[in-house]
Chains A and B, each alone.
Chain A
C-alpha cells in the first residue's frame, strides 16, 4: 500500500512536452481540472505527465498513476478501476472518490487517445 499523503506532498511525474495522448476531466462549475499527457512506445507507457487544479486526492491519485503505470502496457493501465486504487493507495476519504475517479478517467482518456494517434 502506498500513502496518499506522500503522493500528495511529493507528487511523482515526468515532463512530457510532445505527448502521444492527452486526457482531460473538468468541472466547469467548480473550476477544477485534470490533464494527463502520456508518451507511449509499442504499447508501453514510457512517460506520464499531468497538470491538476483540484483537491489533494486528485493530485495524489495522479501521482500514484504516474508512478504505478510507467513502463507498463497501455492495456494493463486501462484495466484499473476504483477497487485497484482502494487496494493500493491508503487514505482516500470516501467522499472524495469522485475526485479520484476523475483522475483515473483523464488518465485512461489520454491512453486511449495515444492509441488512436498511432
Chain B
C-alpha cells in the first residue's frame, strides 16, 4: 500500500539531491572537522563545515552573527534559553503560550532554577498581542522568545514588530524559526532578532542538523562542554553529512516549492468544505502547508487512527477519559474548548504530495467522519 504522508510539519522525506550531497561525507570524506591540523582529510571536512556555515549566514544576511550548529531545533532552543539564562544568572523570560514544547518545558526547567517566566497570550488566530508584550517586558527581562510560525496551526507572527519592541526595551529576542525557514525569507540585517533557531528536516534536509544563529554580542553559556567546536559553545564532533545536507536543502528550496505546497493547501481547503460541521483552526496568514481542522462531534484520535489504518499519516492531540493525556496547549491557548481541541487534526503538506492524494484523503474523511458521527452520542443528523 502506498501511504499518504501528510505530516510534513513533523519531518519530511530527504530530497534525493540532498542525499546525494551527503553520501560522500559518509563514505569518502568521513574525517571529523577538528582534525584540520593533523591531516588533509580533516581539512576537507573543515571546509565543508565552514562553507555551510558561511552559506547559511549569507542566506540570512547575518553579518554580525555566529552560526552554531547543533543536532536539532530542540537543542538550539535549549542553547538559546539556557545559554542566555545561565550567562545572565537572573531575570525574567517572556514567551508566548503557543511555543513548541522545547521552549515551554525549557522555561519550566529555568523557572525551577529561579528564573521568572512570563507568558503572553494569543488571540483566536494564535497571534501574540503586541501591547501585552510591550507591557510584560521590564528592566529585568533577559530574553523574549516568540516563534515565527506555529507548529500546529501555522500562525505567522509579526516578528519584525516583535523585534522592534525588544530593541526599544533593550532585551534580547530569540525567534524559533524551525517551521518558517526557508519558507519565509528572514533578513537578520533588517530584523531585530538576536537569536534564531533553524532546522533542516522540515524542508527536505536530514535529521541531525540545526543551527542557532546568535548575534556576536550575545553572551551564551555552553550546554555541552568538551572540545572547542562551535565557538566553544557546543562541544562534540560536528555532524558533517547532516550539515552538508542542510546546506543543500536550503540551496534547492525555492518559490516554486513554496507555491506548489501552497496550491495543495488551497485545494485541500476548498475540498474539505464538502464535509459539514468543521472548523478551520489555521488563520489565513499562515504556513503554506499547515492546516488544522476540527471535526465536530468526534474525537480527533479516532479519526486519525482510522485514516492511519487506511494509509494516511496525520496527527492530532486529544485526551478522552484519560487525564494523563492533555489536549493541544496551542489550541486551548487560542481559545478553543476542550471539545473543539479534541476533534482537531493537523494536515501538513509537502512537495512530494499530490492533488490526487488530497482527493483520496477527502473521500476517506467523508466516510470516516460520517461513520464516527453516526457512532457519536453528541451528533444529531441535520
Spell out A's residues near B (CB within 8 Å): 5, 8-9, 11, 25, 27, 29-35, 51-59, 95-96, 98-99, 102
**Least CB distance, B122 to chain A, in whole angstroms:** 22
Check if A58 sits within 8 Å of B321, measured CB to CB: yes
| Interface SS of A by simple majority | mixed
B297 CB–A CB distance under 8 Å: yes
Residues 281-315 of chain B: 1 if any A CB is under 8 Å from the residue's CB, otherwise 0?
A: 00000000000000001110110011001000000
A9 and B307 alpha carbons, distance in the complex (Å): 10
A56 adjacent to B305 (CB under 8 Å): yes
Which residues in A have their C-beta under 8 angstroms from that of B324? 95, 98
Q: Please, which residues of chain A bring their CB within 8 A of the CB of B309?
A: 5, 9
Interface size bracket, B side: 20 to 34
Asked if B217 CB lies within 8 Å of chain A CBs, one says no
B339 at the interface (CB under 8 A from A): yes
Q: Are A33 and B378 in contact (CB under 8 A)?
A: yes
| A53 x B322 contact (CB < 8 A) | no
B342 interface residue per 8 A CB criterion: yes
- List 25 A–B pairs whose Cβ atoms lie within 8 Å, in order of A's numbering: A8-B302, A27-B321, A30-B318, A30-B319, A30-B320, A30-B327, A30-B342, A31-B338, A31-B378, A32-B319, A32-B320, A51-B376, A52-B376, A53-B299, A53-B378, A54-B299, A54-B321, A55-B322, A56-B299, A58-B321, A59-B375, A96-B322, A98-B321, A98-B322, A99-B321
Number of A-B contacts (CB under 8 A): 80
With the chains together, A57 CA to B321 CA distance in Å?
10
CB-CB under 8 A from A32, the residues of chain B are: 299, 319-321, 342
B325 in the interface, Cβ–Cβ < 8 Å?
Answer: yes
A46 to B379, CA, bound (A): 26
B321 touches A31 (CB 8 A): no
**Bound CA span A102–B299, Å:** 16
The reply to whether B322 and A31 form a contact with Cβ atoms under 8 Å apart is no
Closest 9 CB pairs of A and B: A51-B377, A55-B320, A31-B339, A53-B376, A99-B321, A102-B321, A98-B322, A56-B305, A32-B320
What residues of chain B lie closer than 8 Å to A52, measured between beta carbons? 375-377
- B190: Cβ under 8 A from any A Cβ: no
Of A51, A55, A57, A95, the residue contacting B375 (CB under 8 A) is A51
Q: Which residue of B lies closest to A63 (CB)?
A: B375
Q: Which residue of B lies closest to A51 (CB)?
A: B377
Chain A CB within 10 Å — which of B305, B378, B379 has the most?
Answer: B305
